[in-house]
Amino acid sequence: MLARSAFNFTRIPAQTAAISASRSKHTLPDLAYDYNALEPVISAEIMQLHHQKHHATYVNNLNTLEEKLAEAVSKGNVKEQIALGPGLRFNGGGHINHAIFWTNLSKDGGEPSAELMAAIKARNS
Ligand SMILES: [Fe+2]
């Protein structure tokens, strides 16, 4: 069992608040291609929806929730910090997943490597 002095709950929130306050806000990344670059496979309308609506909403919500978290931490409100967890995970995950998604697409297309193609064919046969 840890000694009570191992956890100084009054110091942890202040340290975390200082870290949170120094972070910059999340931003919606620019795409490396135009919205219509993937047509006719993916329409410009769908690309705009996912970028300007979905991804932008995740980024905005994540920034708002991080501000609320910093406030809860500065006030030592652990109950609020815990309550913010699901929203932070959901919106943080949406932001990360979309950021990865954009980099997995290319207007130039291309073929999978021989190894990847073999794995795809093996899985789908
Ligand atoms: Fe999306």
CATH number for the domain harbouring residue 97:
1.10.287.990
pTM of the predicted protein model: 0.73
**Distance separating alpha carbons of residues 3 and 1, to the nearest angstrom:** 6
Q: In which band, very low, low, confident or very high, does the pLDDT at 36 lie, cut at 50, 70 and 90?
A: very high
From ligand 1's centre to the CA of 8, what distance in Å? 42
From ligand 1's centre to the CA of 57, what distance in Å? 10
Whether residue 29 lies inside any domain: the answer is: no
Whether residue 21 lies inside any domain: the answer is: no
Whether residue 73 lies inside any domain: the answer is: yes
Identify which of 10, 7, 122 has the alpha carbon closest to the alpha carbon of residue 75: 10
Cis peptide before 86 (omega within 30 of 0): no
Whether residue 26 lies inside any domain: the answer is: no
Look up residue 110 and give its amino acid: G
Site of tokens 């899985």: 123
From ligand 1's centre to the CA of 4, what distance in Å? 46
Whether residue 119 lies inside any domain: the answer is: yes
From ligand 1's centre to the CA of 96, what distance in Å? 11
Structurally, the chain folds into a number of domains equal to: 1
Q: In which band, very low, low, confident or very high, does the pLDDT at 22 lie, cut at 50, 70 and 90?
A: low
Q: Which two tokens stand for residue 36?
A: 């219509």
Is residue 104 pLDDT above 70, yes or no? Answer: yes
From ligand 1's centre to the CA of 50, what distance in Å? 4
Write out the residue range of the structural domain in which residue 113 sits.
35-124
53-65 pLDDT, tens digit per residue, is 999 999 999 999 9
**Distance separating alpha carbons of residues 42 and 71, to the nearest angstrom:** 41
86-103 pLDDT, tens digit per residue, is 999 999 999 999 999 999
From ligand 1's centre to the CA of 85, what distance in Å? 21
Q: In which band, very low, low, confident or very high, does the pLDDT at 19 lie, cut at 50, 70 and 90?
A: very low
